[in-house]
Structure 1
Amino acid sequence: MSGPLRLLPGDGDSLPVIPRPRTRTRARPSWAEDPIDELAERLVEQVAVAVHPYEVAALLESDGLTGDQITARYGRPDLFTLAEDLHARVPRHYPEPPPAPDPWRPDHLRCALRGLVFALPGLAYVLGAGLWQGTADVSGLIASALAAWAWNQALSHRAYLRLAAGGKAAAGRTLRIGAPAGALGAAATGLVVSGPGMGAAFAAGQSCYLGAASVLLVLGRERVLLLTLLPVAAGAGAGAVQLWQLPAALAPVLLSATVMLAVVAAGHAIHAALRSAPEAAGITPKLLRSLPYGLFGLAAGVLAALAGADEPRSVVVLTLSMGFAEWLLYRYRSLALTALRESTSGRGFVLRAGRALAYCLSAYLAVLALGSLIAGVRPAPLLGLGAVLWTALLLQAFSLAWLPAAVTLAAAATQASASLASLPLGPAQLGCCTAAAAVLIAAACRLLGRPTAHR
């Protein structure tokens, strides 16, 4: 077959074009559309967060759908079938919960005020330097201060416990008895060590002030305490800038004025606390719970006194840093709470909590290093002491008190023994504080790396 085959008659050789029927796109009739799509679009936000079709069923029922409407309009036999269909059509979407308020957000002004009231009392020793003479008076002052620090640390802890359990009235009752008893005991300690004289009188004033300051700090009267320090600050400041020569008889007057103002303010604060409305009586905490805090206060005082014997200006730097140290304690608790909220595994939380600890401790040590450079003291012993004190305070903030008390007591006893043996204070302090800091940091990483510690 060599030629084309004609299938139809015609003149051309090509195949004829067969006309095809014209197609027209018609809109889908309304009766053919699935009304469940419209329902899913209308309820998409509520259905997307449902974790079970029963929640969707409850939503539809609250929307007023009846069994007849479900059958006639949506073509489903019952409510639960329609709910399962909607739950399957809408993808799950669970929005993040709104950020919760941070209960550990640092109060910058309060921390700054507390830093001032921690640092300014040191001016009293500058102002009253000529009032005591000989090593006996100095020993009496140190012994009185150590007794006051130990007692007031334990008293403050117990007062805070009573404040949480029974309100300000319960804390006021504790402070009304504990503060005078501690001041009397510390003053008696100074008198026994130094004997009668101006040194014993200064120790008595120091004891009264420390007891009153503890009362005001527990009851949140930092501003009042700062005002009581104005006489001492004004006298020491005027002498420092050499505005005028301070008469020798004026120093005891200014010191006594500060002590009297602090005592009167503490008495007024206790009276106001006792008159406050009593809260529901809670369980009275045992005295033994406050013992490790007192032991830590004694050990910290011994470490600070030994550091001051070797480098007096290091104690000034340490005292000035206390406000920032307290701010960092709040900052760590805030960072740990954020880590607890964002972590999805135990290992992740351990890493985040460890980073928070490293960040806060490094920040505090950086401030101490800067202060040591400005004051011209050796930074290594001061950094070791600062690491011990800050880490111990951090563990105490989580009610882990016996371990830091035992470690700091061991460091203080070892360093005191080295001092009595006439060994160099600098290397002894560096070795003791470095070892104690290593133990406390390791304990903090282990104990605070558990999520249950941050509840």
Structure 2
Amino acid sequence: MSGGDVETPQVTAGKKPPRQHPAGKRFTAGEHPAPVLHPVVLPQISTDPLDELVDRLRPRLRRAVDGLQVAAALEADGCTDRIARVEYGFTDVFVLADEVFRRLGPQALEDSGPPARARGRWETLRVLAHGPLYALPSVVFPAVLAVLGQRSLVLALALAGGLGWMYSGTAAYAAYKLLGAYRPRAAAVLLARTTLAGPLIGAAAGATVVAVTGGGTALILLTAGQLAYQMAGTVLVFYRQEGRLAATMLPAVVGGGVYLIAGAPARPAAIASAVAGVLAAYVVALASTRGRGERDELPGGPVLTTWRRGITGVTCYGLCSATLLLHAQAPYLLTRFDVAAAAAPLILVMGFVEWRAEHFRGAVVGLTHRIGRPADFRAAVWRRILGDTLACLAVTVVPAIALLGSLAAIGKLTAAGILMTAAHVVLGGAYLTAFLLAGFERHLWLCLSLLAAIAVHVGGGVLLGAGPIVDPPGSATVDTALYLGSVLGLQALFLIGLAPLVSQARHYR
């Protein structure tokens, strides 16, 4: 039968053909056609399980900013790749999360804010300020060293610095995971508790140093204050309140600067302003954790259990990273100012390194929309990495040149200082790669690479009779050259670890 023919009912012998209902329904003799009814269109109720999932998640994801936040909420609820495939028909949780985020639609803003461009500029300045904020307490160190001038101070600062780096990084990572799973109250409670415990951990570290190498109560107070400031800074950065952190520490910066100019007469005022600044930052940080989230939100324990492996990896990475920096500089804190100050350029530009790392994923997601060929995509991603690395190196060079010029002006510039400063310039690029690896949760590779760099530096120093363990006269140049070589190798190891991951488009869905 051709597509244009109309079917004609066949007539059989002795039977009447069936009559046709006006609406198209057939009926036979003896049946009475029902009256023609005008259909009433009822609202259709969706039976799509994805729509039900979106409706269930909508109250919790009112402020979701991307699919990654939706993915965190799905994983916190126990959604696995298998569930995404079997129940919803998506290849994995991240693809499902992108579709859920799309169906959530535009999120209504609860309050009016500045234009997007102004907010973007503020966000950039906020991240760039992280480096100087990390360096604020160092302004007061000369006054503290003059009071506590003892070799045990070096060990105390190194131990407290390493513990603070590891402790604050772990707390921030866990809090971000809770926030991503829409547990703001649990994140605030976690940050408040870790902040309260921070000074106690610092005091314990100081007491250990005092018991082993000697010292007094002032040393214990110093390490407690160091942990208090690191946790206060972590909390205020977490809640994007860098301005408050700077305001609380401004008197300490002024006091430290006056001491550098006026000398001993200004020492008591400098130390008092530093103590007041740390206490103020600590109180403001604790106050910032209050009133977050709702009391009836879901518990955060299951989320932390889910991310237990990542939390452990962040802790180990923080410890190894702090060890890499501190083990090389600690021997020179009291004896070689030019070598000890070499870390300043890196600290000042860490905000820039964070900023470039934060924008990397968004930039590569844009590449996935514009580039179709895998080879072109890989080349574009590596060009991006190369460009960001060179930018971090170039930005770090600026304060490094300023530091070396200042040292030369006062007659303190040495070959060891130049080599150690160059090593920290290289670390500016290496830490960009480290942030990218951390974004892929490759903490094991990070730790192994850092331990390898430390082993090269320390082991090479032992073999050559130089370094933090063996330090005869004149060995500082050899030691710093070894350190420069070890961080160059570290950059290579980080890139090797990044190579299998960074150019795969599936990581940027």
TM-score computed with the length of structure 2 as normaliser: 0.64
CA distance in 1, matches of 2:399, 2:263: 29
Q: Distance in 1 between matches of 2:364 and 2:182?
A: 29
SS in 1 for 2:151: helix
1:124 pairs, out of 140, 149, 156, with 140
Q: Which runs of 5+ in 1 are unaligned?
A: 1-99
Q: Which residue of structure 1 aligns with residue 445 of structure 2?
A: 403
Tell me the residue number matched to 1:434: 488
Maintained 8 Å contact 1:137/1:199: yes
1:420 matched to which residue of 2? 469
**Residue 134 of structure 1: SS of its match in structure 2?**
coil
Letter in 1 for 2:488: T
Aligned twin of 1:231: 251
| Aligned AA (2:171) | L
Give the AA of the match of 1:329.
Answer: A
Please state if 1:296 is matched with 2:317: yes
8 Å CA contact retained: 1:149, 1:297 = yes
TM-superposed CA distance for 1:245, in Å, is 7.0
Question: Paired residue for 1:210?
Answer: 230
What is residue 142 of structure 1 aligned with on the other side? Answer: 158
Partners of 2:245 and 2:281 within 8 A in 1:
yes
- The one-letter code of the counterpart of 2:441 is S
3-state secondary structure, aligned to 1:248: helix
CA distance in 2, matches of 1:398, 1:109: 26
Q: Please report how far the alpha carbon of residue 413 of structure 1 lies from its aligned counterpart in structure 2 after TM superposition.
A: 4.2
Shift of 1:277: 6.5
1:220-259 equivalence runs, <5 A: 220-240=240-260, 242=261, 246-259=265-278
Give the Cα separation in 2 of the matches to 1:219 and 1:276. Answer: 17
* CA–CA separation in structure 2 for the residues paired with 1:413 and 1:294: 20
Q: How does 1:14-413 map to 2 (within 5 A)?
A: 107-194=123-210, 195-240=215-260, 242=261, 246-273=265-292, 276=294, 279=297, 283-286=302-305, 287-309=308-330, 311-376=339-404, 377-378=418-419, 379-413=421-455
CA distance in 1, matches of 2:265, 2:125: 32
1:237-263: CA deviation from partner (whole Å, max 9, x where unpaired): 3334x3797533223311110111011
Structure 2 letter corresponding to 1:160: Y
Deviation at 1:391, TM superposition (A): 1.2
2:490 & 2:481 partners in 1: Cα distance?
14
Q: Deviations over 1:376-425 (max 9, x none)?
A: 13353223333332211221133332211221133234434533244732
Q: Which structure: larger Rg?
A: 1
Instruction: Tell me the SS of whatever aligns to 1:445.
Output: helix
Q: CA deviation at 1:200?
A: 2.1
Relative distance call for 1:246 and 1:297 in structure 2 (3 A) is farther
- Give, in angstroms, the shift of residue 322 of structure 1: 0.8
Superposition deviation, residue 437 in structure 1: 0.8
- Quote the residue 1:96 is aligned against: none
- Any conservation in 2 of the 1:295–1:409 contact (CA below 8 Å)? no
Contact 2:310 2:441 in 1 (8 A): no
Query: Equivalent pairs: percent with the same residue?
Result: 23
SS of residue in 1 equivalent to 2:145 = coil
1:317–1:371 Cα contact (<8 Å) kept: yes
CA, structure 1 residues 184+414, in 2 after alignment: closer, same or farther (shift >3 Å)?
A: farther
Cα displacement string for residues 66-90 of structure 1 (whole angstroms, at most 9, x for unaligned residues): xxxxxxxxxxxxxxxxxxxxxxxxx
- SS state at 2:240 partner: coil
Measure the CA separation in 1 of the matches of 2:344 and 2:244: 23
Match for 1:389: what amino acid? Y
Taking the aligned partners of 2:169 and 2:278, their CA distance within structure 1 comes to 19
Corresponding position of 1:20: none
Change (3 A) 1:174 1:280: same
Pair 1:108–1:246, CA change in 2 (3 A): farther
Change (3 A) 1:278 1:412: farther
C-alpha deviation, 1:135, in angstroms: 0.8
Give CA-to-partner distance per residue, 1:67-123, whole Å, 9 cap, x none: xxxxxxxxxxxxxxxxxxxxxxxxxxxxxxxxx999xx7831211332331222221
Report the AA paired with residue 483 of structure 2: Q
Structure 1 CA distance for aligned equivalents of residues 395 and 359 of structure 2: 15
Between 1:317-326 and 1:442-451, the stretch displaced more is 442-451
Per-residue deviation, 1:357: 0.3
Change (3 A) 1:259 1:284: same
1:113–1:223 Cα contact (<8 Å) kept: no
Q: Shift of residue 159 of structure 1?
A: 1.0
RMSD value over aligned CA atoms?
2.7
* Number of aligned residues: 353
